[in-house]
Amino acid sequence: MILPLLNVNDLSMHYQTMEGEVKAVDDVSFTVEKGEAVGLAGESGCGKSSVAFSLLKLLPYNATIVKGRILLDDVDILTMSETEFRRNIRWKRISMVPQAAMNALNPVFRIGDQITEAIMLHEDVPEEEARDRTAKLLDMVGIDSSRADRYPHEFSGGMKQRSMIAMALACNPELILADEPTTALDVVIQCQVIKVLKHLQKVLGLSMILISHDLSVVGETCDKVAVMYAGKICEYCSTGELFGNPLHPYAEGLLSAFPRIKGGRSRLTSIPGNPPQLIDPPSACRFHPRCGYAKPVCSELDPNMEQTRSGHWTACHKANKHPKY
C-alpha cells in the first residue's frame, strides 16, 4: 500500500481572543499524494490559511491545535519539538509561498541575499554554493539571475511573487503551500504565476496545496479540491467533479457566482448573507442560515462527511439523502 505524502486527520485549531474562542479549523481531513495538487477553496475567513499555518506550525501565540494528526509519510509532525521540526521539516520538506509577496520580502535586503540566507539557514553549505543555487532558482522561475542584487522595490508585483516561489524551492521541498499566490496581481501576471507553478510542479515532481478564493485559479491548477466553509470542509472531490457536478449547496453557490468563459451567457447569482462568526457558529450544518435548500434537520443535526460516490465526499443532508431531509 502506497501511503500519501500528507494525511491531515481530524485537525482542529482554535484562536483565543478577548471575545471568546474562535473555532477557525474544525475536524478538517484531507490527503495529498506525491506529485498531486490539492486546492483549498472558499470565502475569506473560512479557515484556509489557518490550515496552512497549522501544517507549518507557524501559529501565533493565541492559537492552539486542539486535536488531530498531521502525518507526513506516516509520521505525525505535531508530536515533533520545535527544534526538530525546524531542522527536518519546515522549508526542507514543506515550504510556503505566502500571501502578498510585497509584504513578505524584507525591503532593505537584496532579493538574492534573502534567498541565499534561507538556504544557509537550513543547510550547511558554503555561501558561494548557496549563491549559485540562488541564481539557478531565479532562472527557474523566469527571473534573470543578474537581478539577484536588486531590492524588492525594483521588482514588479509578479517578479516579487516569483521570487517568493524561488525562495520556497530553496531547500528542495516535497510539498509547497501556496497561499493566495495570485492575490493583488492583474490577470496577465496571474496567468504567468500559475504557469510557473504548474511547470515547476511537473518538472520537479512537487506536491502542492493551493489556497484560493478564486475558483478559476483552483480549476486551472489543482487535481482535487476541498471546499471549506466556516472552518469545515463541506465537499472534497476531483476538480472535474466539482466543476461538473457540485453536490453541496455552498459549492454550487460558489460556482453560480463565477463567470464561465465557455457556453452561453447566464446571470450570476450570489450567496445571500455573510459567513458566520466562528466564536459562536450556527448549530448543526454551519451553512444552513444561507442555504436555499435548508430543512429543519439541517439546524438540528450536523451532517457527516460521506462518500456520495467514488472519490466524491460531501457533508450535506440533501446530497447524502438523509432520511429526515
pLDDT digits (tens, 9 = 90+) for 95-109: 999 877 777 899 999
192 with 304, same domain? yes
Neighbours of 85 (CB within 10 A): 17
pLDDT of 119 reads 92
What is the Cα–Cα distance from 103 to 188, expressed in whole angstroms?
A: 21
122 with 185, same domain? no
What is the Cα–Cα distance from 211 to 105, expressed in whole angstroms?
A: 20
**Which of 157, 172, 187 is where one domain is finished?**
172
187 with 248, same domain? yes
pLDDT bracket for residue 69 (50, 70, 90): very high
Domain count, the chain: 2
275 with 211, same domain? yes
pLDDT of 181 reads 86
Residue holding cell 496581481?
Answer: 185
116 with 211, same domain? no
Q: Which of 57-71, 181-195, 223-237 has the lowest mean pLDDT?
A: 181-195
Report, as an integer, the average pLDDT of 4-31. 95
pLDDT of 1 reads 64
Q: Where are the beta strands (DSSP E) in the chain?
A: 6-16, 21-32, 37-41, 63-72, 75-76, 94-97, 175-179, 207-212, 224-229, 232-238, 306-309, 312-314
User: Does pLDDT of 62 surpass 80?
Assistant: yes
**Which of 138, 172, 206 is where one domain is finished?**
172
Report, as an integer, the average pLDDT of 67-76. 95
273 with 238, same domain? yes
**Which of 126, 150, 172 is where one domain is finished?**
172
Report, as an integer, the average pLDDT of 50-61. 94
pLDDT of 30 reads 96
pLDDT of 37 reads 96
Q: Identify whether 41 is part of a domain.
A: yes
pLDDT of 47 reads 93
215 with 297, same domain? yes
253 with 180, same domain? yes
The chain-wide mean pLDDT, for the chain, equals: 91
pLDDT of 261 reads 65
How far does CA 112 lie from the centroid of its chain? 26
Q: Identify whether 320 is part of a domain.
A: no
Q: For 167-225, what is each residue's pLDDT tens digit?
A: 999 999 999 999 988 877 778 878 888 888 888 998 899 999 999 988 888 998 999 99
Q: For 27-54, what is each residue's pLDDT tens digit?
A: 999 999 999 999 999 998 899 999 999 9
Q: For 264-301, what is each residue's pLDDT tens digit?
A: 677 777 888 889 999 999 989 999 999 999 999 999 99
How far does CA 181 lie from the centroid of its chain? 10
Which residues span the domain enclosing 160?
A: 105-172
Q: Which of 159-173, 182-196, 246-260 has the lowest mean pLDDT?
A: 182-196
Q: Identify whether 321 is part of a domain.
A: no
29 with 133, same domain? no
